[in-house]
Amino acid sequence: MKDSSGVMMIPTAPWPQDTAPDPAKQEDAVRLPLLAGFGLDVLEDDDELQRIVRFAAKLCDAPTSTVSILEERRQWFLARDGIEERETDRSVSFCGHAMLGDTIMVVPDAKEDPRFADNALVTGAPKIRFYAGAPLITSEGAPVGALCIFDSTPRPDGLTEIQEQGLKVLRDAVMRRLHARRRDLVRDAELQRSQEKLGALADSIPDIAWAANAEGEVDFFNQRWYEYTGLDHSTPPDNETARSVFHSDDQEAYVDAWDEALASGQPFEQEFRVRRSDGTWRWMIGRGVPVHDSAGDVTQWFGTLTDIDDGHRLSESRDLLARELSHRIKNIFAVVSGLVLLRARNRPELKDFAEELGEAIRALGRAHDFVRPLGSEKGNELRGLLNVLMAPYGIGEGKQVEVSGVTVKLGKRAATPLALIFHELATNSAKYGALSREEGRVTISLAERGDTVLIDWNETGAPGGKVPERSGFGSTLLDMSVKSQLDGSMEREWGKDGLKVRLSIPAKSLAI
């Protein structure tokens, strides 16, 4: 019987002892299909069954014992002891009678039993006179054969009580072995169906799907892999085959990333080029996730390969355009700075203003180059930007400026107002504060308080510490940059050693 999904439903409880088979399952039309479901060919001369028949013969002091299976036309000895023949014709079978009973069938003297007196196995070899057979009945109630012993000498007293009980115990052991074999077949069939479903599912997805064992050796590719690479289906799915279509320039990085994932048991991700069936190289992203057992050990890897070549090339085009724009913007900063100085050359009264404005423009240029560089190393961290902006004053331990504290993510939009803020602070300090004296020092520290980043500017060794009488353009610029562009706040304090400034800026404002 099968359930709605096609899976064989097998009764789990054994057939009750001393109960005759189900009459509805005694006919061959019903019995034989059930018998076929055991797949008994692989159990011929099975070691466990052989031990059972040998013990049955010793227990009953008989020269011969067999596990007999009744098919349509033959009686087949699945296990045997004391007999060379592998089978006999079903028409002469004693076990065919025994399997229909509700208990052990005992024939004290076959020559005196009208059912068997003229049987060829009685009148001829092996000249059976005494027979005892315990019926083999499946959990559904279908008779399939018998565990029997027989002798060429009649036994008027039949079996002893212990022998009869022992034969039933051995009969039950035979059926447990047969049922175990059937469960294995059903389990294998279910596994095969699951694998076929998984294969069909894997073949239906547009990406390449793969699987690897715990050691990282690839053992499965879906249909898409063969279509994409043009490799023959007969080519074994292994690591060597896979890497044969990976670009040589990407092999080392791929292997390093894969080895790292295997060692750590963490998900794998790497971009590399794969040769398509038409010979072109296309960028793909490989991803893999490990499957862990209850002990946490990796038992399997599953993953995909996704063609990202179009997006990769679009990204390269955008990067090329961005670099070109960055180069032109940087040139604009240089041109504007040059124009300011050029225009002020004949206007002495504007010289100081022009120099200050030129320095501010150059600071913007440095900030722009930090977040949108022409090279490959792009900055995205606030301390890095501060190091760039403060570099003209000397950065690091023992220098005039020291930057310390937490790592803070920095976005492109926030870099410009921050460049103006710290350029203004540094310029004022160089004119009037700590940076105007050789022994003066500035410390810039970064800290986090919840979702807010605190940036402290502390000067020591400034001359005089005089508080400005009025707020100038620089102070206005600072307030506007902090409040309007970064949605933050600023506190100033003039001490005897110099200016102290605290900026409180939302982390999300710095990250964009």
Helix axes 382-390, 412-432, angle to 10 degrees: 40
Rg of the chain on CA atoms, in Å = 45
* 346 vs 363, more confident: 346
Which residues in 432-468 are b (16+ Cβ under 10 Å) and which e?
Answer: bbbbeeeebbbebebeeeeebbbbbbbbbbbeeeeee
Whole-angstrom distance, CA of residue 118 vs CA of residue 136: 25
* pLDDT score of 475 more than 60: yes
Domains of the chain: total: 4
The verdict on 369 and 396 lying in the same domain is no
Question: Quick one: pLDDT band at residue 363, thresholds 50, 70, 90?
Answer: low
Residue % of the chain over a pLDDT of 70? 81
The verdict on 387 and 458 lying in the same domain is yes
* pLDDT score of 129 more than 80: yes
CB atoms within 10 A of CB 212: 24
Q: What is the pLDDT of residue 414?
A: 82
* 201 vs 488, more confident: 488
Q: What is the pLDDT of residue 146?
A: 97
The verdict on 39 and 183 lying in the same domain is yes
Q: How far is CA 333 from CA 38, 86, 198, 328, 366, in A?
A: 86, 99, 60, 9, 10
Residue 339 lies in a domain: yes
Q: What is the pLDDT of residues 141-155, one digit of tens each?
A: 999 999 999 999 999
Residue 450 lies in a domain: yes
Exposed, middle or buried, 192 (CB in 10 Å: 0-12/13-18/19+)?
Answer: exposed
Residue 3 lies in a domain: no
Closest CA to 48 of 193, 170, 218, 211: 170
At residue 126, what are phi and psi to the nearest 5 degrees? Answer: -90, 20
* pLDDT score of 369 more than 80: no
The verdict on 33 and 176 lying in the same domain is yes
Closest CA to 123 of 132, 113, 133: 113
How close are the terminal C-alpha atoms of the chain, in Å? 65
Question: Quick one: pLDDT band at residue 276, thresholds 50, 70, 90?
Answer: very high
* pLDDT score of 333 more than 90: no
Contacts of 44 (CB under 8 A, 6+ apart): 78, 79
Whole-angstrom distance, CA of residue 65 vs CA of residue 83: 8
Residue 218 lies in a domain: yes
DSSP code of 244?
Answer: T
Question: Quick one: pLDDT band at residue 360, thresholds 50, 70, 90?
Answer: low
Whole-angstrom distance, CA of residue 284 vs CA of residue 37: 47
DSSP code of 2?
Answer: B
Question: Quick one: pLDDT band at residue 375, thresholds 50, 70, 90?
Answer: very low
Tell me which of 181-185, 234-238, 239-243, 316-320 is least confident. Answer: 316-320
Residue 502 lies in a domain: yes
Q: What is the pLDDT of residue 4?
A: 45
The verdict on 318 and 407 lying in the same domain is no
| Most confident residue range from 321-335, 358-372, 445-459 | 445-459
Q: What is the pLDDT of residue 462?
A: 83
Q: What is the pLDDT of residues 17-34, one digit of tens each?
A: 889 999 999 999 999 999
Q: What is the pLDDT of residue 175?
A: 95
Tell me which of 43-52, 243-252, 419-428 is least confident. Answer: 419-428
Element (H, E) at 372: none
Residue finishing a domain among 342, 357, 378: 378
Cβ-contact 299, 265 below 8 angstroms: no
Residue finishing a domain among 307, 327, 343: 307
Residue 16 lies in a domain: no
Tell me which of 163-167, 170-174, 366-370 is least confident. Answer: 366-370
The verdict on 278 and 314 lying in the same domain is no
Residue 292 lies in a domain: yes
Q: What is the pLDDT of residue 433?
A: 85
DSSP code of 482?
Answer: I
* pLDDT score of 311 more than 60: yes
Write the secondary structure of 417-475 as one string of H (helix), E (strand) and C (coil). Answer: HHHHHHHHHHHHHHHHCHHHCCCCEEEEEEEEECCEEEEEEEEECCCCCCCCCCCCHHH
Q: What is the pLDDT of residue 266?
A: 92
* pLDDT score of 261 more than 60: yes
* pLDDT score of 6 more than 70: no
Q: What is the pLDDT of residue 23?
A: 95
The verdict on 272 and 288 lying in the same domain is yes
The verdict on 41 and 132 lying in the same domain is yes
The verdict on 131 and 267 lying in the same domain is no
Structural domain containing residue 291: 206-307
Residue 61 lies in a domain: yes
Give the chain's mean pLDDT.
Answer: 84
Q: Which residues on neighbouring strands pair with residue 114, listed in sequence order?
A: none
* pLDDT score of 479 more than 80: no
Q: What is the pLDDT of residue 366?
A: 56
Q: What is the pLDDT of residues 66-80, one digit of tens each?
A: 999 999 999 999 999
Q: What is the pLDDT of residue 467?
A: 53
Residue % of the chain over a pLDDT of 90? 50
The verdict on 78 and 167 lying in the same domain is yes
Tell me which of 278-287, 297-306, 466-475 is least confident. Answer: 466-475
CB atoms within 10 A of CB 36: 10
Tell me which of 210-219, 227-236, 267-276, 325-334 is least confident. Answer: 325-334
Q: What is the pLDDT of residue 470?
A: 47
Question: Quick one: pLDDT band at residue 379, thresholds 50, 70, 90?
Answer: low
* pLDDT score of 511 more than 50: yes
pTM assigned to the model: 0.50
Cα angle 389-395-401, degrees, rounded to a multiple of 5: 85
Tell me which of 49-58, 426-435, 487-496 is least confident. Answer: 426-435
Which CATH number is 482's domain given? 3.30.565.10
* 415 vs 283, more confident: 283
Residue finishing a domain among 307, 324, 346: 307
The verdict on 459 and 349 lying in the same domain is no
Closest CA to 163 of 45, 61, 241, 85: 61
Alpha carbon 510 to chain centroid distance? 36
Alpha helix positions (H), 26-109: 28-36, 47-59, 95-98
Whole-angstrom distance, CA of residue 259 vs CA of residue 430: 53
* pLDDT score of 5 more than 50: no
* pLDDT score of 2 more than 60: no
Question: Quick one: pLDDT band at residue 384, thresholds 50, 70, 90?
Answer: confident
Which CATH number is 48's domain given? 3.30.450.40
Number of H helices, E strands in the chain: 14, 16
Which CATH number is 278's domain given? 3.30.450.20
The verdict on 92 and 124 lying in the same domain is yes
Whole-angstrom distance, CA of residue 38 vs CA of residue 138: 10
Determine the average pLDDT of the residues in 156-167.
Answer: 96
